A and B are shown apart, each in its own frame.
Chain A
Amino acid sequence: MQRKFGSGSEPLIEISALTKQFGSVQALSDVNLRVMPGEVYGLLGPNGAGKTTTIKTILGLLEPTSGWIKVVGLDPAKNPIEVKSKIGYVAENPIVYDSLSTRDFLEFVASIRKTDKASTNELVAQLASAFDMTQYFDSPIATLSLGMKQKVALIASLIHQPPVLLLDEPLNGLDAKSSRIVKELIGFHAEKGGAVLFSTHIMEVAQQVCTRIGIIYQGKVIAEGTLDELRSKTEGSGGTLEEVFLKLTHEESEVADTMRMLREAFFKNEAK
């Protein structure tokens, strides 16, 4: 991984007043965010908050209802192919061709992305051996576990050494070693001046990996900043990200009520 992405003051991802509506459902509402070179931005939110919709809109797979997006200065709606060539994407559920082997699939991705053979081979060899893929490189993807499929998707996302990484729950199904490697890779990418938008609902992961965190809830970014900045926005400063998150989304009392109810239901039979 020799390429340096730059260290300018221009954001690599910029979103302004983004809204996205599906029929009567407001999936995103006035979302604003910027990811600078060298930054790992964590998009944190519960299931259905709008994380994946935000990522797909950045990638140009969904058209914004209003607002605008720039990726490396380009509008995904106007320059979809150029934007996709600047992005490495890992989907929430690794979507790959099941009947192809890992090698066939990476060959296909490298062909479409028109990568240089020598650098692609060097990169793929390093990543595949780091992810212990010797036994799985020529196996059909259909036969791989979720974690292995995730590794294939991660290698495919890095194959063209893009300046922007969009990672939607990239640690899904990964073992401890691979998770660690992915976290380090994300760090290296940022060190080189790349930008990472990292979506997760696991607080510990966001806490470890991200330099800045945006909390998205019901389609709105309700808070943004470093972990310390987020803590200071809540009364209980010094708490974990989970506590901060629950306070910001006003879900703390709701969780407490639910747990009380579940406890009663769970021990009901035992009491009898």
Chain B
Amino acid sequence: MRVALMVTCVNDALFPDTGKAVVRLLRRLGVDVEFPAGQTCCAQPMVNTGYLDEAVPVVRTFVDAFAGYDAVVTPSGSCAGSARHQHAIVGRRSGDAVLQERIAEISPRVYELSEFLVDVLGVEDVGASFPHTVTYHPTCHSLRMLGVGDRPTRLLRAVRGLRLVDLPGAAECCGFGGTFAVKNADTSVAMGSDKARHVRETGAEVLVAGDNSCLMHIGGMLSRERSGVRVMHLAEVLAATEGVGA
């Protein structure tokens, strides 16, 4: 099975440790993951802001990069959702039948990390160790666009030493929302501050989620509040082994 890592533009530029964690984790599970160097972004920022013409060359780049792989794994529910549910919209906009065909081939092979681990590899215990109290935020696109369900928490519960505590109002959006975070900054911050308050209420040391953009928003707020709560991507927790933290 040829497996490609779709690291996402946000992780590539701002959170390379998450990408490295996915590589470490997958190798530990026997998957020799490749990183197609031509990859850039899933085009979600353009699509969700309304710039479909601008999204067309980005999606073209995406299909060029990931053509021929059996599976494309990404540490982002949102970007997986974009590839699976929105690339067809961009394809229609392009009016290019070949591009539309290629999108239809690749889209169903894109997996969010927890889906790939549980559904494709069939593992829940990935051999990780992370002796901390953790709470988990199920990001909206993982939860409602992809329907990952309890896969991430099943993976977390199998981690050695990890204590998982419930997050109140977990299913409610954190308020990031892509360009929403700046176009409607006040509302975004009002939503985020409620999410941050719920995180603090749990007493957890670490907030875990499957999307670094949501974590950048909630974490930015937790940091501004001097809460001391750390945010970490699910991949980094699952990659951690005894004595080797993320």
A, B in one complex: no
Residues of A with Cβ closer than 8 Å to B? none
